[in-house]
């Protein structure tokens, strides 16, 4: 906590510089604008709302739960042509095909996951698993991710996520596939299953836990209040979760996200996403080195208006953080599990 040091991230095979004393330095840099507190529940000009017209001219149904539709501006399309052959090894290109979908969590724009009921969150989880199964039948990788808040590039104040399925393994998936495969080969146990057991025993980076899940600020965390959501059982893919595990996942997600919001009493921005074993042709392969997990990457550092910037040294050398993971975990762990908006006045 007092002296800078580096920590190894076995999942990414890289290192992070921990410099906890730097959080004390004065700040005269950019201040972020807190998210608006007066988001209307329904807005006819919001293209994610029930009954609204999207950019394509298509009108959304009057949905009452989750709602999934093709992304109107997809980064991946299923019928992209093959690129031309390369005439030099330094100029390589490869085919990239896929589909992109948008999934609304709820019809109300003024709700976020921590303010939704457990039943509503469970419906989101079931839809995630359904999409993973559906798209994973054809595509190697299905990336479910949520960008929450304008600070993380979210362009629409409505509870939603995106699902991109690709014919190839993206860089992060390829890297995690290699490191987890190596760990199982060398140690005889899936890396993140062993890691979860260690963190459950040590408890110093534990944020919340229940019978089936635990959330930690990982030993190698890069972002200030980064967390890792892990199942206790060895499970490779989201769709493999039992009914009880899905119920407990809804519960632990709500608890974590309430703590996030309570940290600075603001709708806490983050990017999150699920990582699990590849699908498509890999469904017939041995993927027991994989362990399902979710990453949460929030940018806020000191307050609702001061974020961590990944620039300079981070871009040109290696990641650096301004407080220890243990300090971050203790702060999150000590927060109440009643949302600040729902406290009795």
Binding residues: 22-25, 55, 71-72, 147, 153-155, 162, 176, 275, 293, 295, 308-309, 313-314, 320
Q: Annotated catalytic residue: which of 106, 158, 160, 183?
A: 160
Strand partners of residue 209: 214
Cα 230 to Cα 70: distance, rounded to the nearest angstrom: 29
> How many other C-beta atoms lie within 10 A of the C-beta of residue 213?
23
Q: Is the dihedral of CA 173, 174, 178, 184 positive or negative?
A: positive
Element (H, E) at 261: helix 243-264
Number of H helices, E strands in the chain: 6, 12
Q: Are 203 and 310 in contact (CB under 8 A)?
A: no
> How many degrees, rounded to 5, is the angle at CA 145 between CA 141 and CA 150?
145
Q: Are 218 and 205 in contact (CB under 8 A)?
A: yes
Q: Is the dihedral of CA 42, 246, 279, 143 positive or negative?
A: positive
Question: Is 3 annotated in the active site?
Answer: no
Four-CA torsion 201, 203, 208, 214, nearest 10 degrees:
-40
4 CB burial (10 A radius; 0-12, 13-18, 19+) = exposed
Q: Are 121 and 253 in contact (CB under 8 A)?
A: yes
Where b means 16+ CB within 10 Å and e means fewer, 172-183 reads ebeebbebbbeb
69 CB burial (10 A radius; 0-12, 13-18, 19+) = middle
Residues annotated as catalytic are 160
């Amino acid at each position: 906590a007092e002296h800078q040091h580096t920590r190894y991230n076995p999942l990414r095979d890289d290192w992070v510089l921990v410099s906890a004393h730097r959080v004390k330095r004065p700040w005269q840099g950019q201040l972020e604008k807190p998210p608006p507190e007066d988001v209307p529940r329904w807005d006819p000009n919001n293209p994610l709302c029930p009954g609204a017209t999207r950019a394509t001219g298509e009108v959304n149904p009057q949905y009452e739960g989750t709602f999934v539709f093709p992304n109107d501006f997809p980064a991946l399309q299923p019928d992209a042509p093959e690129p031309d052959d390369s005439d030099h090894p330094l100029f390589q290109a490869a085919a990239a095909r896929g589909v992109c979908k948008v999934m609304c969590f709820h019809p109300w724009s003024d709700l976020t996951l921590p303010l939704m009921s457990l039943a509503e969150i469970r419906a989101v989880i079931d839809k995630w698993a359904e999409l993973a199964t559906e798209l994973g039948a054809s595509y190697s990788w299905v990336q479910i991710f949520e960008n929450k808040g304008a600070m993380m590039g979210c362009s629409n104040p409505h509870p939603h996520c995106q699902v991109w399925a690709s014919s190839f393994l993206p860089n992060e998936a390829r890297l995690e596939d290699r490191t987890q495969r190596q760990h199982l080969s060398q140690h005889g146990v899936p890396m993140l299953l062993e890691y979860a057991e260690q963190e459950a025993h040590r408890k110093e980076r534990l944020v919340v836990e229940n019978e089936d899940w635990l959330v930690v600020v990982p030993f190698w965390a890069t972002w200030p209040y980064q967390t890792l959501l892990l199942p206790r059982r060895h499970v490779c893919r989201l769709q493999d979760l039992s009914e009880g595990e899905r119920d407990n996942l809804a519960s632990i997600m709500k608890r974590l996200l309430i703590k996030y919001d309570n940290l600075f009493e603001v709708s806490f921005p983050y990017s999150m996403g699920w990582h699990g074993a590849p699908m498509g042709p890999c469904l017939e392969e041995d993927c027991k080195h994989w362990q399902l997990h979710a990453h949460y990457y929030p940018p806020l550092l000191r307050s609702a208006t001061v974020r961590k910037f990944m620039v300079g040294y981070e871009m040109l050398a290696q990641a650096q953080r301004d407080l220890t993971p243990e300090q971050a975990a203790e702060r999150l762990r000590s927060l109440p599990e009643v949302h600040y908006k729902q406290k009795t006045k």
